C-alpha cells in the first residue's frame, strides 16, 4: 500500500519531504506533482524502479526517460549542450519543457535511447518538486504518469493513490498541478526538432 503525503504547495513540510526522500533512497517508486502534470519517479540507479515504470506505463526500449533536475548546473552534469543550444535551454528553464540531448557518462546506459545515446532532461518550475530535488541532492528518474488505458495523464493525488496503491510506494499530493505534459524538444541534432507540443510554448524553437 502506497504512503500518502499531503504536502503544502507553497511551504512544503520538511518532515514529509524527508520521508519521501527516504522512500526514494530505499529503492521506492513515487508519484509526484510537477509544473506540467504528475510523474512517476525513482532514483537514478534504481533498476527495479525503472522496470516498474516500464511495466506501469507499458513502455518499450525506445522510450526517452527524463532526468528531473534541480537547476541548470545539475542538468549540465548529465547532458552535453553545444554553445548554440546553451542559450535556448537556459532561457527556457525552469519551465514545462523536456530537452533531449546527448547523455554524458554520468547517465547509466539503460536510461539512454538505445541507438542515439540521448536522454531527456528538464528543470521544473514547481515548489514541491524543487524542494524534493534539493533534499535528495540528485535528479529523479521520471516519466509522465500516463497510464496505457488513458488519453490524459492523471492529475488528482487521491485518484492516483486509488489507482496505483499497490504498484507505487508513495504519492505526494500538493493540490492542483499542471494538467498538460511538457513540450519536448530534441536538441541532439544541428537544429531543434519539436517532438511534442505541450505546456511549454514551442515558438522559440520553431
pLDDT of residue 43: 97
Residue 168 lies in a domain: yes
Q: State the total domains in the chain.
A: 1
Indicate which CATH number applies to the domain containing 163: 3.90.870.10
At residue 115, does pLDDT exceed 90?
A: no
Q: Per-residue confidence at 64, pLDDT binned at 50, 70, 90?
A: confident
Residue 49 lies in a domain: yes
pLDDT of residue 13: 97
The mean predicted confidence, pLDDT, of the chain is 93
Could you write out the DSSP letters of every residue in the chain?
A: --EEEE--SSS--HHHHHHHHHHHHTT--EEE--SSS-EEEEETT-HHHHHHHHHHHT--TT---EEE-SSHHHHTTTB---HHHHHHHHHT-SSSEEEEEEB-TTS-GGGS-TTT-EEEEE----HHHHHHHHHHTSPEEEEE---TT-SS----HHHHHHHHTTT-SEEEE-S----SPPEEEE-SSSS-EEEE--SS--GGG-
Residue 127 lies in a domain: yes
Instruction: Give phi and psi for 24, each to the nearest 5.
Output: -60, -45
Residue 182 lies in a domain: yes
CA distance 138 to 98: 17
Residues in the chain: 206
Residue 38 makes CB contacts below 8 A (sequence gap 6+) with 31, 32, 144, 145, 153, 154, 155, 157, 160, 177
pLDDT in tens, 28-49: 999 999 999 999 999 999 999 9
Residue 175 lies in a domain: yes
Residue 115 lies in a domain: yes
Residue 205 lies in a domain: no
Q: Is the distance from CB of 199 to CB of 96 less than 8 angstroms? A: yes
Residue 203 lies in a domain: no
pLDDT in tens, 174-189: 988 878 889 999 999 9
What's the domain range around 38? 3-197
Could you tell me the CA-to-CA distances from 57 to 19, 98, 148, 173 in Å, in that order? 25, 18, 6, 20
> Which stretch, 138-142, 146-150, 154-158, has highest mean pLDDT?
138-142
Amino acid at each position: 500500500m502506497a504512503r500518502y503525503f499531503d504536502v503544502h504547495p507553497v511551504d512544503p513540510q520538511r518532515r514529509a519531504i524527508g520521508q519521501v526522500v527516504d522512500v526514494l533512497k530505499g529503492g521506492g517508486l513515487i508519484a509526484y506533482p510537477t509544473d506540467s502534470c504528475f510523474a512517476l519517479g525513482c532514483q537514478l540507479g534504481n533498476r527495479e524502479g525503472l522496470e516498474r515504470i516500464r511495466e506501469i506505463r507499458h513502455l518499450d526500449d525506445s522510450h526517452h526517460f527524463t532526468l528531473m533536475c534541480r537547476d541548470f548546473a545539475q542538468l549540465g552534469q548529465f547532458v552535453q549542450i553545444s554553445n548554440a543550444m546553451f542559450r535556448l535551454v537556459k532561457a527556457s528553464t525552469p519551465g514545462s519543457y523536456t530537452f533531449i540531448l546527448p547523455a554524458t557518462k554520468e547517465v547509466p546506459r539503460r536510461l539512454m535511447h538505445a541507438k542515439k545515446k540521448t536522454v531527456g532532461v528538464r528543470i521544473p518550475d514547481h515548489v514541491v518538486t524543487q524542494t524534493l530535488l534539493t533534499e535528495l541532492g540528485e535528479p529523479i528518474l521520471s516519466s509522465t504518469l500516463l497510464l496505457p488505458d488513458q488519453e490524459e495523464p492523471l492529475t488528482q493525488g487521491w485518484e492516483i493513490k486509488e489507482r496505483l496503491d499497490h504498484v507505487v510506494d508513495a504519492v505526494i499530493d500538493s493540490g492542483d498541478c499542471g494538467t498538460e505534459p511538457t513540450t519536448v524538444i530534441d536538441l541532439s541534432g544541428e537544429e531543434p526538432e519539436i517532438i511534442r507540443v505541450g505546456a511549454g510554448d514551442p515558438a522559440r524553437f520553431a
